[in-house]
Chains A and B, each alone.
Chain A
Amino acid sequence: MRPENYQAVKLGDSNEYEIFIGPNHPGIEGNYAFRLMLDGDIVVSGKADAGYLHRGFEKLMEGRLWIQNLAIVPRICVPDPAPMEVAYSMAVEEIMGIEAPIRAQWIRTMQLELSRVAAHLFTFGGHAATTGMYTPMFWGVADRDLVLDLFEDFTGGRVYSIYNIPGGVRRELPPEFLQKLSNLLDYLESRQNDYDNLLFTNQVFVERAKGCGALTQSQALELSVTGPNLRACGLAYDVRRDDPYLVYDELEFDIPRQKHGDAYSRILVRRDELFQSIRILRQIIERLPSIKGKIRTPIPNPLSWNVRKGEAYARVESSKGELAYYVVSDGGDKPYRVHVRGPSSMHAVQTLEFLAKGARLEDVAQIMFSLDACPPEVDR
C-alpha cells in the first residue's frame, strides 16, 4: 500500500491503534515494512510486511545458465554478498562431483571472512543509528569502505564481487595484496578503542541495548534463529565449526557467545566475531603464500554446460547466520530449482514479530537492527 493511501485506523472502544514502520526507515538494511498495533507506546502485536525487494531470484535462476546465476546471487544480500556466491558454487560443485583446488578454497575463506568484517562494521553503525547515535554509523560505513577497496583490488568489483565460479575462483590475487590486507587488519585493530569508547562501553548505548529484545535459547531454537543471534543466547553453534567447509577446520578461532540474548548481547557477539575474523585472516595471510597451485578446476564450456542430474544442499556461516543453497538439477543447462535458505527470513519475520510484542515503540527499530536481518534476502 502506498503511504498516501494509508490511514491509521483507530479501533472501536479500544485504545489500540495501528502504525506503519517502513518501508523506509533506519531500522533495517533495506526496504522493509513492519505493521504495529500499539496501545500507548507499547506494542500489542507486530506484523512483518515483506516484499518490497522481491525480485523473484529463485525463479529467475531457473531460467538462466548455471554460470549466469553467479551474477545475480550476490544481489540477494547486499551487505554480505560473498557467502551467496560461495554457497551457490559449492552446491553446484557437489552435484558435479568436482572440488575447488585447495588454493581456491583458501582464497574463498579469505573472501568470506573479509565479507563478514564488512558486514559487521555495517551493523555496528546501523545498530547505533537506531539509538540515535550517528557517528558510529559514519565510522562503520567509512571503515567498511576500506574493506570494499580490497574487494575491488582482488575481485574487480567493490560490492558484488562475482568472483567465484563453480570449480574455484576467477582470478589470482594481485601482487602485494596480502600486505595490503595485513595493513587493513592493523588499522581495524587500532580502531577498537574508538569503537569501544563511542559505542560498546558508552553507558547511553549500553543502558538502551541491555534487556532490549531478549530471547531465551529455547525460544531462539524454536524460531530457527541462527548465527550471532543464536550465539547471543548462549549456544555456541557455528557452521564453520560444526559442519566445517572450505578450510575452516585448519584455522584456529573461538566462537564468541553471550548469555542474555538481548540486543546488547547480540552486538557484543558481533564485536567479538569481528576480531575473530581478523584472527582468521591473519592465519590466512601467513598460510596462503605457501599454498601453490591452480585456482580453478575447469568446468565445461558454460554455454552448453549440462550439470548432471542431482541435488545438493551447501551451507555456510554468513554474517547473519546459517545460509544455504538447495540446488536441484534435472541434467539440463539451467537449474531445475534453487532454494535459498537465508537466515534473515527467520530473523526478520517470526523472530521480529515475537520480540516486538510487549516492546516499546522506540525500541522496535533497535530490535530490528540488532537482529541484523537483510530484507533483500527475506524477499529474494
Chain B
Amino acid sequence: MKKINYNDKGSILNPLKNLQFYARKPVTEPLGPRDASASYRGFHINDLNKCIGCSSCQKICDNAAITMVEVPSIKEDAAKGLRNLRPAIDYGRCCWCALCVDICPTSAIEMTREYVHTCDGDETDSYFIFPKETGIHGDSFEKGWTKTEDSDLLDRIRRPMGEMLSEARIDNFDEIVDGFTLEMAVQEASRCVDCGLCEDACPAHMHAPNYIRSIYEGNLEQAVEWMYETNPFSHVCGRVCTHICETACSLGHGEGESDPIAIRWLKRFAMDNVSKTKIKQIARKGKARKKSGKSIAVVGAGPAGLTAAFDLVKKGHKVTVYESLPKAGGMTRYGIPNYRLPEDRLDQDIEVIQSVGVDIKYNVKVGTDISMAQLYKDNHAVVMAIGLQMGRSTRIKGSDHKMVVKAVDLLRMIPKGDKVNVPKSAVVIGGGNVAMDIARSMARLQQQKYGEVNITLTALEQLGKTFLADDEEVKESLEEGISILDARGPKQCVIKNNKLVGLETVKVISIFDAQGRFAPKYDEEDLQFHQADMVIEAIGQMSDVSILGEELTEELEWNRGRIQIDENGHTSVEWLWSAGDMVKGPDVINAVADGHRVAKDIDRFLNK
C-alpha cells in the first residue's frame, strides 16, 4: 500500500490522471439484470402439501407479517396433526429474515431468488400474498434460501429414555421405563413449538402445550393443574396412553430424523414429582360449593366411569360408582401389567378422584346384587361404563379345552393375586397390545417358575407392515425372549388323550376381502405345529351386556351389538348414558374423553 504523508500538499493535477477513464470502462456503469445469489432471501414459496398448518412461522415472525388463513380445499385430520391453515405474508411488514424458513418443522416454507414482483390490476391487495409451491400469483420462482442442517432452529432429537435391561426385567413385574430426570424433562419440554396440534389430536383435548411450557419453566404444580383440567387419569395416561398427540406433534412431521416431543413421558414426570396432597388440592379446584340435590349412579369404576363421576361430583351432584371387582380401575388395573403401569400410580389417581367426593361401592355386581331398575329408581341418571371384560374366542377346533384360555381372564387373575396355572410352554393367538401384555406377563411368570421363557405369539398381521401392537411392545417382547410368528392364522388346537399338546397354524394370504371386510384367507398347505401346554386367545374383547336385564335390553336401541348412543353418549333411554370401551375405544384417553362428554350432557340434562 502506498503511504500518503499528511504534510504532502498533493497536486491539483492529480485528478487529471483519471482522464484515462475516457478510455476505460466506467466503474459506475449500471449493471445489467442478473440472477440473485443461490441463497437469496426473496419472496416465499410454500409447499401446501408439506405444510401442516402448525403456525410456527407465524410465531417466529418478528414483524407479525404472517397470518394463517384457512384453506377449505385442504383436508384437516386432527389425529394425524394436519390443519388446513396456511401462511399468507404481508410484504409490507416482512423483513426477509428467513427465520420462518429456519423454524418450519416440515421445511415447507422456503424463500426464492425473486425480489421483483408486479401485481395485475385486479389484485388490489397486492402486498398481502399467499405463497404456493412454485411462487406467488401463479408465477414460478427459483429457490433461494432454504433450510440447511446448520440453519435449522429446532431441536429434533428426543431425549433418550432409560429402560431396564431385558435380563433384569424378565423375572419380575417392576416398571421398565425409568422416567425423565428434571434436567432431561426441561430439555425435552424446551423442544415444543407450541403449535397445539397435540391438543387437537387428543380425544380429551389435554392442554399439552400449556403443561409442557409449565414443565419447561420448572413449575410442575402448574403443569399438573393444566392436566387436571381435562384428565383425572394423568398418572395412568403418563404411562400407558396411546399418545395420539405424539403422532400429531409437528416435530414428528419433519424430514429425516425428527422425533415428536415425548409428551407422555413429560406428563408422567410432572405427575411423579408433585405430592399427592398437592394433587388432591389441585383436583378439588373448581368444585361447586352448593349441592345440586341430584344423584347419579355409575356402573363400572374404569377410566370412563370415574371420569364422568369426577366431573359430576365437581358440579355438585352426588355420584355412586358400582364396581363388581374388589378394586377400581377397570382394565387399567385388570388388563395392563404392572411393568407398564405400577399399581401404586393407578391407586393414586383413584385416591385423588375419591378425595373429591366420588363414592365407590366395590364387589357389587349390577344385574345380580342390584338391578338396573333399582339404580334408576334411586338416581336421576345412570351411566353404563362396564368396558370390554369378556374375551372373544377364535372358535377353532379344540378351543373349548380348559387349557385354551382368554387373555383378559388371565390378565385379570395376576393383579387379583389368584393362583395362575403357569404352563411350561404357551402359544398366544393375537397381534395386538393385549396379546403382547399377556405374552410378556406369562414370560415373567415362566421365568420365575421355570427359569426360562417359552412363549410363541402368532398373529395374522405382518411384522413391520400391518402389525397391530406398538413397535416398542414388539421390540421389548423380542428382547424378553418371546418368539413372534407373523402372518399365521390358527387352524386348530391339537388335543391328544384329552390333553392339549399344541396349536396348528396356517400361512395367511390375505386378511381383508375386496370390500375391506375381515375375511382372512389361508394357504392350507403351509401348516405348522407349535407345541404348547396352554393356548391363550387374545383376539379381541366384548362387553357383558347381560347385566342390563331383559326389559332394558329390549327397550334400548342397538347398533351391531353395541348400545346405540348419540354424540354425547346418551342412549335411547332417557335416564341412561353409556361411555368408555363398551361404546368407543379401546384405550384410556378415549374413555376419559367419553367420561367428560357424558358428564357434561348429564349435567345439562339435570339442569334442564
Interface of A toward B, CB cutoff 8 Å? 64-65, 67-72, 135, 138-139, 141-143, 145, 149, 152-157, 160, 162, 168-172, 174, 189, 191-194, 196-198, 200-207, 258-260, 264-265, 268, 271-272, 275, 294-296, 298-306
Contacts and interface: CB of A to CB of B under 8 A. Distances in A.
B216 A172 contact: no
Best-surrounded residue of B4, B63, B148, B217 (most CB of chain A within 10 A): B4
B271 interface: no
Given A192-B2, A264-B6, A303-B193, A156 B40 contact: yes
Contacts of A200: 4, 10
Given A197-B14, A203-B14, 9 more contacts: A65-B62, A71-B99, A160-B96, A170-B150, A174-B37, A201-B11, A202-B10, A304-B192, A306-B217
B56 A303 contact: yes
Contacts of A201: 4, 8, 10-11, 14
Interface stretch (B151-159, B530-538, B577-585): B151-159
Contacts of B144: 156
Contacts of A67: 60, 99, 153
Contacts of B111: 156
Give me the 10 closest cross-chain CB pairs, A-B, nearest first. A68-B62, A71-B97, A201-B10, A206-B10, A203-B10, A275-B1, A156-B41, A142-B28, A203-B12, A156-B39
B480 interface: no
A174 B38 contact: yes
Contacts of A197: 14-15, 17-18
Contact of A302 (B2, B15, B38, B153): B153
B67 interface: no
Interface of B: 1-2, 4, 6, 8-12, 14-15, 17-18, 27-28, 31, 36-41, 56, 59-60, 62-63, 95-99, 102-103, 111, 144-145, 148, 150-151, 153-155, 187, 189-194, 213, 216-217
Nearest to A149: B37
Main DSSP-derived SS at the A contact region: helix
Given A259-B6, A260-B6, A139 B41 contact: no
Given A192-B1, A197-B17, A204 B6 contact: no
A275 B2 CA distance: 10
Nearest to B111: A156
A306 B56 CA distance: 17
A141 B18 CA distance: 18
A174 B9 contact: no
Contacts of A72: 62, 95
A72 B93 CA distance: 12
Nearest to B62: A68
Given A71-B63, A198-B18, A258 B6 contact: yes
A259 B7 CA distance: 11
Contacts of A204: 12, 15
A230 B148 CA distance: 42
B4 A271 contact: yes
B62 A301 contact: no
Nearest to B39: A156
Given A67-B99, A265-B6, A302-B153, A152 B37 contact: yes
Contacts of B36: 152
Nearest to B34: A149
B193 A142 contact: no
B60 A305 contact: no
B192 A156 contact: no
Contacts of A142: 27-28
A259 B290 CA distance: 88
B28 A302 contact: no
Contacts of B150: 168-172, 294-296
Nearest to A200: B4
Contacts of B14: 196-198, 201-203
B4 A203 contact: no
A196 B148 CA distance: 44
Given A143-B27, A162-B98, A201-B14, A301 B41 contact: no
29 contacts: A65-B60, A65-B62, A68-B99, A70-B97, A152-B37, A153-B39, A156-B39, A157-B96, A168-B150, A170-B102, A171-B148, A171-B150, A174-B39, A189-B1, A196-B4, A197-B17, A197-B18, A198-B15, A201-B8, A201-B11, A202-B14, A203-B10, A203-B12, A206-B8, A206-B9, A268-B4, A301-B190, A302-B60, A304-B216
Given A201-B14, A301-B193, A139 B28 contact: yes
B95 A303 contact: no
A272 B37 contact: no
Contacts of A294: 150
B481 to A, nearest CB: 40
Contact of A68 (B15, B39, B60, B96): B60
B99 A157 contact: no
A301 B192 contact: yes
Contacts of B28: 138-139, 141-142
